[in-house]
Structure 1
Amino acid sequence: MNRATFWSERLLVAMPAAHALAEREWVQWYDLRNETFLLTASDPGPESRDMVLGRLSAFGTRPKIKMHGVSRESIMSVLGGGLGVTITCEGAAGAQYPDVVLREVHGSHGLCLMSYSGYWRKDNTNPALRHFLAYVRSRYSLTLIFLECAFLLADRS
């Protein structure tokens, strides 16, 4: 199995603009221990739930998490009403929602990042995969030399 880390994005918490933490430049996981998290039931909600549970259980609390069968955009659009907070990545920072602010989440070692990776079989010679990896390499300036070696070896077999 081949694997490559493609890019990382800052982890953000979206909250009502009137929230007490909204005045801060960034928040720590500890600051979120008593919050109600609104998450999507679909991707990436379950992974976000696991992350929140893992991070906040270290403080001896069981976070309040409500899973909803709606899109991330639907959850973002109701946050301004003060119903809770949600976790999202930097890629969502381009959209603006009424009365909602985004703040970086920090852990004990600083800024929290969400890494995106890809996995594929070593014997996969699909041209679409090759084009995708070339795009990621050029777009994100990744040095994926081992990928080129893997494809060269696959071409020889």
Structure 2
Amino acid sequence: MPDRILDLRLFRYAQAAAEHGSFRRAAVALNVLQSSVSKGVRSLEYRVGAPLFERSHSGVRPTPAGERFLQEVTQGFDHLDRAMQRIGAVQRGEHGELTVAVSVPFRLLEDVLEPFRDRHQGVSVEMVEGTCGSSLTLILQRKADIAFVTKTPADGVSQFLFLRNERLKVALPKSHRLAQARVLMLEELRSEKFIFSASGMGPEVGDYLVRRVAKSGVEPDLHLHRVGFCDLLSMVACGFGVTIVVGQLPRAAPEEVVLIPLAGRSAIGIHAVWMESNSNPALSSLLRILRASTSPSQPT
């Protein structure tokens, strides 16, 4: 039974011999001894169980079986070269996959995700939207590479990086009695019905509102809806209630909605969370961009 474990050099010897029509010229091209080429080809023929070359005083040429064999080998080497190039690109973070869990709006991440996409167009990015808690769970379960959330983890295992604080604003319909205000106190909104999305940052912003209003001894009228953020803003425009927005309105927001800043230090922190043990090169590339773009100041 021929030995199927082959030295890759034997294939190179056979390819060079077929290309140059001579073991001697193949040896010169490969910078090896002629005897290494001739012995290597004989060893290859023995191991595959068929003569690959016709030999004569004028040189060598592939047999019909050798011709077919070398065609297959060439295709195999092409695949191998591409595989080696691809794995090198993956290790450099130029190709691969990256799963991003988010509880914050995508528009708050454009300043880091757009540069990443520009520099690493070969990386397939999957976005998974959820609450802060579900996003952190995906990190611990190794089902996401990085999470962008409003709370730092308390598991003692994952790593996190503070990115920045985002100002909170109230979204009101233009017909609202307070729509012309330049800034609003939460106390002015105590009689309002607050609506939030049950996904994304909705629960966290709702909790923030409860903590702030609780200081004045009032329990806010808070309602969660299983709708996306843009649909929530459409509900605000239709008078279903008011909501609190982190940052600016999305470009697709209804024209009937206005944003008014909340008074005082009304802000919420944005953090990136990941596992230190995650060796995904694409994650390492994104973290470099994050660290380069993050201010050294700490959250207030």
Q: Please give the secondary structure, in 1, of the residue aligned with 2:262.
A: strand
Distance 2:231 2:216 in 1: 30
1:138-153 to 2 correspondence within 5 Å?
138=292, 140-143=293-296
Q: Indicate whether 1:25 and 2:217 are aligned.
A: no
Identity %, equivalent residues: 31
1:90-115: CA deviation from partner (whole Å, max 9, x where unpaired): 14354431311011112xxx241221
- Gap regions ≥5 residues in structure 2: 1-157
Q: Indicate whether 1:133 and 2:290 are aligned.
A: no
Give the corresponding residue for 2:217. 60
Q: Is the 8 A contact 2:234 2:253 kept in 1?
A: no
Code of the aligned partner of 2:295: L
Give the corresponding residue for 1:115. 269
Q: Is the 8 A contact 1:77 1:98 kept in 2?
A: no
Structure 2 CA distance for partners of 1:92 and 1:131, relative to 1, 3 Å: farther
Structure 2 CA distance for partners of 1:19 and 1:116, relative to 1, 3 Å: same
Q: Which of 231, 234, 239 does residue 77 from structure 1 map onto?
A: 234
Larger Rg: 2
1:58-91: CA deviation from partner (whole Å, max 9, x where unpaired): 1111111111111111110121222210111114
- Gap regions ≥5 residues in structure 1: 145-157
Code of the aligned partner of 1:118: A
TM-score normalized with structure 2 length: 0.43
Runs of 4+ in 1 over 4 A off after TM superposition: none
Q: Indicate whether 1:42 and 2:199 are aligned.
A: yes
Give the corresponding residue for 1:9. 166
Give the corresponding residue for 2:40. none
The aligned length equals 140
TM-score normalized with structure 1 length: 0.78
Q: Is the 8 A contact 1:7 1:117 kept in 2?
A: yes
RMSD of equivalent CA atoms: 2.1
Point out which structure has higher relative CO (alpha carbons under 8 A, 6+ apart). Answer: 1
Q: Is the 8 A contact 1:93 1:102 kept in 2?
A: no
Quote the offset at 1:8 in angstroms.
2.3
Report the structure, 1 or 2, having the larger strand content.
1
Distance 2:294 2:160 in 1: 16
Quote the offset at 1:120 in angstroms.
2.7
Distance 1:20 1:37 in 2: 15
